Amino acid sequence: MGISERMGDVLGQAVESKLLREIEQHSVKVKHLAIIMDGNRRFAWKSNFATGIGHRIGKEKLERVLDWTLEIGIPWLTVYALSTENLNRPKKELETLFKLYDEGLREIADDKRIHENKVKVQIIGRRELLPKHVNDAIDYAEQKTEDYDQFVFTVCLAYGSREEMVDAIRSIAAEHASGDLKLEKIDEKAVSERLYTGNMPDPDLVIRTSGEERISNFLLWQMAYSELYFSDVFWPSFQKKDLLKAIRTFQDRRRRYGE
């Protein structure tokens, strides 16, 4: 490593340390961070890698980001890993993704950092659309961490927010038809409780990587008053300083909640 590279590393670490101190000292905290992890394929294409390599590097990046959120002390982390629309991708790419989910969930479930920090792992989405080996890995991760409550790590797999809301509407309709839910009791709280995220707070901050500025059928109901942050970097290139900058930007915004 040359002198300029070493200097760059030193300066980068200094910037990260400064941002981290500012975040820790600020009165506004991120309690629930949600991330749309976008750009694995484009990162691979730009780097002349196979698509599967991009997805694997993206998986490794998620492990790092989970470490960073634990360090910062963010109690809830939710990531968009696979949408229902993504299930239309080529069979070979999906097989690679499913293998990574299987591998990643089992690794997380056995990771001592998860148990030391008492991280509850949960998966939301249309699990029936996933292959058995992925569902087996989901069961393994959820069962090994089901008693934890210090942090909650949620992975959205085969997830679509419109589908989620349709499921909630069906649940409400069935309960009303059976007489278990009166019409006047159907309100925002009733809807929220019947979403896949019914036991979770709404996200404070939603980050999307890769330069795209859209939310792609992700937590549409839940992010009604979330702050949005769009990063230009592809997900595999997302760095700790990028996360810290997003949080500092959030802390400096005045949340209006529609006022």
φ, ψ at 36 (rounded to 5°): -95, 105
Calpha distance 162→12 (Å, rounded): 40
Residues tagged active-site? 38, 86
Q: How far apart are CA 145 and CA 48, in angstroms?
A: 38
Helix (H) or strand (E) holding 30: none
The amino acid at 55: H
Report the side by side order of strands in the sheet with 119-124: 119-124, 151-156, 76-80, 32-36, 205-208, 227-230
Cα separation, 165 vs 183, in Å, equals: 18
For the chain, strand residue ranges (E) read 32-36, 76-80, 119-124, 151-156, 205-208, 227-230
Say how far apart CA 221 and CA 162 lie, in whole Å: 9
Distance CA 130, CA 38 (A): 20
Radius of gyration (Cα) for the chain, nearest Å?
19
**CA dist., res. 257 & res. 225, Å (int):** 6
